[in-house]
Structure 1
Amino acid sequence: MQLSEDIKPLHHLLEASKFMVSDEIREKFQQNLKRFMIPKGRVLVDLGQVSPSLYFIEKGVMRTYYLRGSEDITSLLVSEGDIVCIAESFLLQKLSNEVLETLEDTTVYALSYDSYRKLVEEDAYMGKLAVKLLEQHLINFTDKVKVFKYLSVEERIAHYISQPSSLFRRIPDHYIATYLGTTPATFSRCLKTVPFEKSRP
């Protein structure tokens, strides 16, 4: 199955920002990005909160998850070069039904909702850039749907760990298992049949 190229949006955004026509907008964009380090295990958005910012990940790993009964199900795994928020909560400024947390000590650039709206509304270039990022997000989401629709659990696991963006070895297997729609026990069993280097760093 042919999937789209794995693209890290932050790299494209920072590269594109070099070519902003307006020096004023470029400076405003950089001034609105707040860089800070978030410790491992910190919840940035909890259930029932409004997602306040876009986070551009410089280093580290984050995930989003939702609850199904007493079990948490990982819905997104992101790392260096990715942009993350609880999309529906951030864009509509409504209460979140998912949680955003760090899985490693993570360094981010944060852009608040108000700053994001002002930038995309005041500058046509930034507006087009936001559309491009949303288009790429949609493509990535469509690819994940294809993986779930056409691949068996074993094939999903093999596909995931072969990707350059795979967080296999960096985070606990049970997060990856729920992200791929399977159980930790099945994930562990399937790993035995997947051709890869099994030793942990």
Structure 2
Amino acid sequence: MTIDNILDNIYPLTETSKQTLKKYIDEVSYPKGYILLRADRIEKNIYFIKQGIVRAYTKTADNEITFWFGKEGDAIISMKSYVANQKGYEDIELLENCKLYELKTQNLRKLFDEDIHIANWGRRYLEQEFMKMEEQLISRQFRTAKERYKQLLKDNPSLIQRVQLGHIASYLGITQVSLSRIRGEI
């Protein structure tokens, strides 16, 4: 996915503003298994996925709990680092070799001050992210595991072929055995 497509999917920018923003974006590549963001540090970059898939997870004493998957077109950001300039609570692992677009947070903040179109683009991005988080929270609270799995299949059918079932089970809040049973029923 091109950076133009990603930026436009968030919120259309004027051509001048888009070109200004793109001057601060670099393309980077990292291998499968690479930990892009770490929970124990303040992250200074935002990424957009050109190619590949990632997961966000948090660690407990004896487990890793996956709570988000990102794929082509999605942004990767530690909201706690971005908003509060504090250490994030999540690790982001690349589940495939990934090509990413990288944007330094300090540059984006500078552009927000200089260009109202870019500031509105950033506001729109955060609004979309808050809606996604709300939908996920509601899903976890009010849907059964089977309903959550069916919704995942509907929203992200390719995810099942690209992500280990253990990560999917963790994302759904169930064991891998329960996921196998649900898959057998469908």
TM-score (structure 2 length as normaliser): 0.90
Is the counterpart of residue 126 in structure 1 residue 118 in structure 2? Answer: yes
- Measured after TM superposition, the shift of residue 11 of structure 1 is 3.4
- Measured after TM superposition, the shift of residue 183 of structure 1 is 1.2
Larger helix proportion, structure 1 or 2? 2
Please identify runs of 4+ aligned residues in structure 1 that moved more than 4 A: 15-19
- Measured after TM superposition, the shift of residue 165 of structure 1 is 6.2
Please list every run of 5 or more consecutive structure 2 residues that lacks an aligned counterpart in the other structure: none
Once residues 157 and 4 of structure 2 are traced to their aligned partners in structure 1, the CA distance between those partners, rounded to angstroms, is 14
Once residues 121 and 177 of structure 1 are traced to their aligned partners in structure 2, the CA distance between those partners, rounded to angstroms, is 42
Once residues 17 and 162 of structure 1 are traced to their aligned partners in structure 2, the CA distance between those partners, rounded to angstroms, is 24
- Call closer, same or farther: CA 1:142–1:166 in 2, change over 3 Å: farther
Task: List per-residue Cα deviations over 1:14-40 (Å, max 9, x = no partner).
Answer: 36787426x3x4333111101011111
Please list every run of 5 or more consecutive structure 1 residues that lacks an aligned counterpart in the other structure: 1-8, 195-201
8 Å Cα contact 2:11-2:125 kept in structure 1:
no
Specify the SS of the correspondent of 2:103.
strand
Q: Aligned-pair RMSD on alpha carbons?
A: 2.1
- Measured after TM superposition, the shift of residue 160 of structure 1 is 0.9
Partner of residue 69 from structure 2, selected from 70, 77, 80: 77
Match of 2:8 in 1: 14
- Call closer, same or farther: CA 1:16–1:153 in 2, change over 3 Å: closer
Once residues 22 and 11 of structure 2 are traced to their aligned partners in structure 1, the CA distance between those partners, rounded to angstroms, is 9
Match of 2:52 in 1: 60
1:61 partner amino acid: I
- Measured after TM superposition, the shift of residue 10 of structure 1 is 7.5
- Call closer, same or farther: CA 1:126–1:181 in 2, change over 3 Å: same
TM-score (structure 1 length as normaliser): 0.84
Task: List per-residue Cα deviations over 1:16-71 (Å, max 9, x = no partner).
Answer: 787426x3x43331111010111110011223111121111011001111012120
Once residues 100 and 122 of structure 2 are traced to their aligned partners in structure 1, the CA distance between those partners, rounded to angstroms, is 18
- Measured after TM superposition, the shift of residue 161 of structure 1 is 1.3
Q: Percent identity?
A: 24
